[in-house]
Structure 1
């Protein structure tokens, strides 16, 4: 989280700083409301298309940024922040434009008289942009309405995922329209200053990303077709384990990573943590809990022999750290990455002392038995906390059961509020923030 917060605020500050430099180079002190409005329109336009461009680039899942931003789960959180920022900035930009027109129409403001614009015969490119202003304004306004609607739908959790998957890519169309709007209406002098090259790179990269989205070329090099090889249902836990045999070449994965899995084309890809260690035989297992409309019907819809598409692997929840002791907390279905890691450690130990806490509301003897065998084979100390019998896990209990917790890396996967509470309490006891690793497994 720290890395994406730094990037977010640094990015906004860089855009603001370069805009200030560019604006001061052509500064003429605004003398009335309309002059100030023009300045603010340019600033909000630069910020708006800037954050939208970054969000569009992140939408194509560029793994090159994973080491710097903490994994694709963190990148999607940054994508969401950028999207919300773009929404707020765009609304402010629109209000500056439309609100002023309303105020003039209501007689609250007097628009300055303007004469006809002179033809720029010695600057044909600038003249071309001037000729396109009316069209660019109209295109930008309608693209704004479409973008607002699509972004609001993306933020509404009740909007079904299968519809979100089908509609969200239409934002790429709105983005391309807003790029044209920005290119034409951005102050022409900016392009020859310090701001112009950055805006050209951002909008160029965003345009390429938008075309990849529209042409369905996102991460095509990381996709492989597979087949459902086996299905195991655990009714008491409300989960289904799906074994997939890759028919193409899977690049391999580390324990704790996830993949996008398309089991049904009408539903689209869903992210699931990989629960099996990679052995090179093409088999991958996913343990999927019934949490939503789709996953609740999955056990009846998926069958052995079904064709599956995998994309990945992604994520940096890979148990890497310099500390010789690790504490794992896998709450509920959050146990999945730890199962994968235990299977990998059973084949090759990393020499670390590990305690695994598994708080659960449902005690399934068969599942707990398999977990205990995996833990024994991996040399992991397992602590199963059945809430009905053992109560809740908290920082005080964890530190009591693991006296050497101050020298450990903490790896947490489970409900986000639980993780945030545990991180806060352990931090208050002296655990450095950098040693608490939490996956943000929310893709919208």
Structure 2
């Protein structure tokens, strides 16, 4: 998380600094309307900078994963940028509209404009576009507000989110036109202008790729569902997929986007199997929403599936020879894949695995126990309704060398936050607590 926080802060710090270096604020007279013009420009620059980087992150750039800490962290940064762009856009709109209302109500007097100095034909052409650019920009702003708010509403069905969110790419392209026309001509030859041009160029390319359905296309493989097993007590469906296309060998802990129904779109699921060079993938899918609840009824052996990936940096690496794994609910899946890998090729580490569940399934636990025995990993089962939620104190008591260990957590975010805070308060280096983020919206 610290990497994406750093990137987030550096992005806005750089844009603010570049904007200040253009002299916008220092050269602005101490009058309301010139200051308003500067603030419109300032908020517009920041909002478009945030949207441009967010649009590029939507491409799922796998080469950037090591720098961002994984695609799950990249999507978290994408979300932060979207929310920030929304807030900045609202402030931008208020700076435009509220003074107009005040002038209309007679509470402000708009200063008269003096004669304009001679300008180049290009600037004159852009000036002729101002009215139209303002109009389409306003409507694009309204559309962006609605689409971003829909993306933030967790109860908005995923299949509709999958379709509506792509429309943001079209809205973004309209806002690029709006920004190019209305950005101050004197800013384009500056460092700010060059940076904004590069950001909007990159964002525009990403928007076009999104609109034509090109996101992740090179990472996709076609497969056939060849095995299904339902664990009724914990509402988990095990899905086996035999790939028919080439696939980049994945590491235990990674995930993929899987499409069973084109109308529904791709959903992210953690791989629960290690790579076996035969093109066989396995997923354990928990009934967590309307769509996943239907899978035990609608999925059939022989059905086609499209798998995109692998993604993620939850890789069980690091120099520590002691590791503590915690899987909360369906968060046990990356550890199942790692157990299989260790059974084939041990890494010499001493490992304790906690599986915390509110819905124990005997068959599922038996299989997990067998995998742990084959991998030489100590397994601890916690039934939350009987034993309560696993705490940092319990971990410290069970593993005296906990400060020398790296912690790998996958499960509900609140559960992970409580463990992280409890351990770091007692001396664990926060860099040694690794958490997979399930929330991709």
TM superposition score normalised by structure 2: 0.98
1:138-162 per-residue CA deviation (whole Å, 9 max, x = no partner) reads 1111110111110011111111111
1:142-189 per-residue CA deviation (whole Å, 9 max, x = no partner) reads 110111110011111111111000110000011000001101111111
Q: Distance in 2 between matches of 1:385 and 1:437?
A: 20
Q: CA deviation at 1:117?
A: 4.0
Q: Given the alignment, which residue of 177, 183, 194 partners 1:186?
A: 183
Q: Given the alignment, which residue of 363, 369, 388 partners 1:366?
A: 363
Q: Given the alignment, which residue of 130, 133, 146 partners 1:149?
A: 146
Q: Distance in 2 between matches of 1:63 and 1:392?
A: 35
Residue 213 (str. 1) matches residue 210 (str. 2) = yes
Q: CA deviation at 1:28?
A: 2.7
**In the alignment, which residue of structure 1 is the partner of 2:172?**
175
The alignment partner of 1:192 has SS state of: coil
Q: CA deviation at 1:27?
A: 4.9
Q: What are structure 2's unaligned runs of at least 5 residues? A: none
Q: Distance in 2 between matches of 1:392 and 1:31?
A: 59
Quick check: 1:119–1:127 contact (8 Å CA) kept in 2?
Answer: no
1:96-142 per-residue CA deviation (whole Å, 9 max, x = no partner) reads 0011110100111000112454552xx22222211111111111111
Q: CA deviation at 1:267?
A: 0.7
Q: CA deviation at 1:387?
A: 2.5
Q: CA deviation at 1:31?
A: 3.4
Question: Counterparts in 2 of 1:400-419, with a 5 A limit?
Answer: 400-419=397-416
**In the alignment, which residue of structure 1 is the partner of 2:297?**
300
1:370-417 per-residue CA deviation (whole Å, 9 max, x = no partner) reads 111111111101111123443331000111011111100000001110
**In the alignment, which residue of structure 1 is the partner of 2:267?**
270
**In the alignment, which residue of structure 1 is the partner of 2:393?**
396
Q: Distance in 1 between matches of 2:287 and 2:220?
A: 25
Q: Distance in 2 between matches of 1:281 and 1:101?
A: 66
**In the alignment, which residue of structure 1 is the partner of 2:3?**
3
Question: Counterparts in 2 of 1:111-122, with a 5 A limit?
Answer: 111-115=110-114, 117=116, 119-120=118-119
The alignment partner of 1:358 has SS state of: strand
TM superposition score normalised by structure 1: 0.98
Quick check: 2:231–2:363 contact (8 Å CA) kept in 1?
Answer: no
Q: CA deviation at 1:369?
A: 1.2
The alignment partner of 1:132 has SS state of: helix
Aligned residue-pair number: 441
**In the alignment, which residue of structure 2 is the partner of 1:19?**
19
Q: CA deviation at 1:331?
A: 1.0
Residue 161 (str. 1) matches residue 163 (str. 2) = no
Quick check: 1:239–1:288 contact (8 Å CA) kept in 2?
Answer: yes
**In the alignment, which residue of structure 1 is the partner of 2:49?**
50
Residue 99 (str. 1) matches residue 63 (str. 2) = no
Q: What are structure 1's unaligned runs of at least 5 residues? A: none
Deviates more, 1:30-39 or 1:423-432: 30-39
Q: Given the alignment, which residue of 417, 430, 439 partners 1:433?
A: 430
The alignment partner of 2:306 has SS state of: strand
**In the alignment, which residue of structure 2 is the partner of 1:131?**
128
Q: Distance in 2 between matches of 1:389 and 1:40?
A: 57
Quick check: 1:23–1:190 contact (8 Å CA) kept in 2?
Answer: no
**In the alignment, which residue of structure 2 is the partner of 1:140?**
137
Q: Given the alignment, which residue of 228, 235, 238 partners 1:231?
A: 228
Q: Distance in 2 between matches of 1:42 and 1:169?
A: 27
**In the alignment, which residue of structure 2 is the partner of 1:90?**
89
Q: Distance in 1 between matches of 2:131 and 2:364?
A: 65
Q: Distance in 2 between matches of 1:8 and 1:402?
A: 36
Question: Counterparts in 2 of 1:277-296, with a 5 A limit?
Answer: 277-296=274-293
Q: CA deviation at 1:296?
A: 0.7
Q: Given the alignment, which residue of 327, 332, 341 partners 1:330?
A: 327
Q: CA deviation at 1:364?
A: 2.0
